Amino acid sequence: LGTGVDWPNIQMVFIYDWPDDIDEWWQQSGRAGRNPAIPAVVVTALTFRSFLARVGMTDPTPAAAARLCRLLHLHTCTDRCRRAAVMEHLGGEVAGKCCSCDVCLAADVMATSGTSAAAARRPEEPALEAALATAANAAPAVGAALLT
């Protein structure tokens, strides 16, 4: 769904592979959730190989692949509002309460229910975070394993 689409009831946007830039991703992902009364989700499906190609590293060294894993870990396993991070990158600001991204929703659940941060997250997040952390902190051999 590109520029000019203004359907208010889109509940899910599935983005396959890397967009050309953050602006394109913002446009695509912004199609979901225009009606605050309807829950919406944006799924971005990516492969590590396509990420390497996007950043011009079609045949990276194991150490370079490990550095990229660390970068992905920093940006995916965060307690910072995802909308605020994107808005900062685009030169904008978020006024008032951040949003309804997964990070902000987890913080709201914790604040209202006294739940721990780990319990408020989706069940798959700890496994993903652990895998990314392992890859990010491991020797370059792990970076090589990610490339196979």
The DSSP code for 127 is H
Q: What is the average pLDDT across 41-70?
A: 76
CA 133, CA 82: separation in Å to the nearest integer? 19
pTM check: above 0.85: no
Q: What is the pLDDT of residues 120-132, one digit of tens each?
A: 555 555 555 565 5
pLDDT-derived band at 119, boundaries 50, 70, 90: low
- The full set of domain ranges for the chain reads 1-46, 60-146
Query: Angle CA(121)–CA(124)–CA(126) in degrees, nearest 5?
Result: 65
CA 82, CA 78: separation in Å to the nearest integer? 9
Name the strand (E) or helix (H) holding 125.
Answer: helix 125-137
Predicted confidence at residue 35, as pLDDT, reads 78
Q: Is the dihedral of CA 25, 26, 31, 35 positive or negative?
A: positive
116-134: buried (b, 16+ CB within 10 Å) or exposed (e) per residue? eeeebbeeeeeeebeebee
70-99: buried (b, 16+ CB within 10 Å) or exposed (e) per residue? bebbeeeeeeebbbbbbbeeeeeeeeeebb
